Amino acid sequence: NKKGFRIRYVAQYCSTPDSPLHGSISSQTGGHVNSVVRWACDRGYRLIGNGTATCRRTPLGYHAWDSPVPACQAVSCGPPKAPINGGVLTADYSVGTRVSYFCNDGYRLSSKELTSAICQPDGTWSNHNKIPRCSVVVCPSIGSFSLEHGRWRIVNGSHYEYRTRIVFTCDPGYYRLGPAHIQCLSNGVWSWKNERPHCQVISCGELPSPPNGKKIGTQMTFSATAIFTCDAGFMLVGSAVRECLSSGLWSGTETRCLAGHCGIPEGIVNGQVIGENFGYRDTVVYQCLPGYRLIGSSVRICLQDNQWSGQLPICIPISCGHPGSPIYGRTVGNGFNLNDVVSFVCNRGYEMEGPARAQCQANRQWSHPPPTCKVVNCSDPGIPANSIRQSKIEHGNFTFGTVVFYDCNPGYYLFGSPVLTCQPTGQWDKPLPECIVIDCGHPGSPPNGVLSGEKFTFGSTVRYSCLGGRQLKGESSRTCQLNGMWSAPMPFCSGD
């Protein structure tokens, strides 16, 4: 009020309490002392808290309900299990919510399966969590389909199920028209629509008869043959018999009938023949392709007997042979002929000194010898104060793979890794550890007691005494031990 006093107005009854969200007051006997109010939740919600409250008089003199307004929590059925090769469509899992089941592409729900379920007030799904099954889609059988002069086979999948793939191939001498393969689609039909594959025989086209010669054979399809002969006084150059191949081409070379002629000289593998005239006393020159060298005579002459002089030369690769592998390393590359390049690699923990590649040259020598693989060394890791180091080193060096062990002197504990290993990079795998003195901490002093001693590390001893003639109960001295604990419990001083 205006005089500075605080005035409290106290009602002598309990007012009507609030209704919970999604709930209501089901009954109330009044607002006087010992009146009772009851709350209830809407359908699909459960009560959280006390369902009743009683009107009580508090020690401060006012009236209040002895329990707070409860909460109404929505009943949830929880996420339903999805079918294998399918899924579930739903917004939430509360009472009254309907979930729909669906299958992935290539799968369909059985006609006998339920496609949906509803969350019931008791917190269970109406289908009792029975998961529907998604069955794989199957395309019609093509077992009755026959590919004349060809065949078909399943390359993946089985039993004509979804995504089964079938490939069509034709026999040698036939080529395919129509789709090369079909696949079972997700709607249960094959991808070939109305087009069906079929195999058609290959034709090589007509071969003319050579001037001054004859041809026997009129067929032009696969495996047909044509035989050629020359008139008297003419020499056959080229192929005497040619066959229609599965590629649609005639085998052999063009047939010609020439007079007084050695014929086209035989070619060489990895080389060429230079010369355009093949009559009496004409010459041809043989040359090898780059990277090859000629063995035999490079020149041949057409003789009177219509034969080329000498023997057919050959071209062999220019090879440098295997270059060898570095010690503690290996050579990468399988080609050792002209211009081939090999690489050298050192083993793990070794570094290369010298070129990493070499090339085969025209003089049949490698451009570089194999390099040297030198073992990687780590620097001395050092010895921490108050520690002991153990290691096995070779030739005074900490080489790759060297392991160093550390331990601390008595009274110290190791902080860090006790083992260090030299890595292929020339670095240690962990930092150098430290030896830290064991410290038991301040031992404390009893009431009316005096502590003597300022060091609290391993081996240190502190002593106790009492003030005012009081008697010391317990050990008068305590020592810091290896486990970081003080020996004996702290004493105390008896008396007032």
Please write the tens of the pLDDT for every residue from 216-236: 988 888 889 999 998 876 778
In the chain, where the domains are located:
23-74, 86-136, 150-201, 329-375, 377-437, 449-494
pTM over 0.85: no
Higher pLDDT among residues 111 and 408, named by residue = 408
Q: Does domain 86-136 have CATH number 2.10.70?
A: yes
Give CA separation, 383 vs 284, 387, 404, 458, in Å. Answer: 82, 7, 10, 22
* Nearest C-alpha neighbor of 147 from the set 174, 177, 166, 168: 168
Domain 23-74, CATH number (from 3.40.50.720, 2.102.10.10, 2.10.70.10, 3.60.20.30): 2.10.70.10
Intrachain domains 150-201 and 449-494 with the same fold:
yes
Confidence (pLDDT) at 260: 67
Confidence (pLDDT) at 496: 59
pLDDT-based confidence at 269, cuts 50/70/90?
very high
Confidence (pLDDT) at 111: 67
Q: Which residues contact 54 (CB under 8 A, 6 or more apart)?
A: 34, 35, 36, 65, 66, 67
Contact 54, 35 (CB under 8 A): yes
Fold classified for 449-494: Complement Module; domain 1 (2.10.70)
Percent of the chain at pLDDT exceeding 70: 97
CATH class of 329-375: mainly beta
Section 150-155 average pLDDT: 87
Q: pLDDT by residue (tens digit) across 412-439?
A: 989 999 999 999 989 999 999 999 999 9
Confidence (pLDDT) at 272: 94
| Length in residues, the chain | 496
Confidence (pLDDT) at 167: 92
CATH architecture of 150-201: Ribbon (2.10)
Confidence (pLDDT) at 142: 84
Domain 377-437, CATH number (from 1.10.287.3240, 1.10.3720.10, 2.10.70.10, 3.40.1230.10): 2.10.70.10
Lowest mean pLDDT among 63-77, 104-118, 263-277, 454-468: 104-118
Confidence (pLDDT) at 160: 85
Contact 406, 433 (CB under 8 A): yes
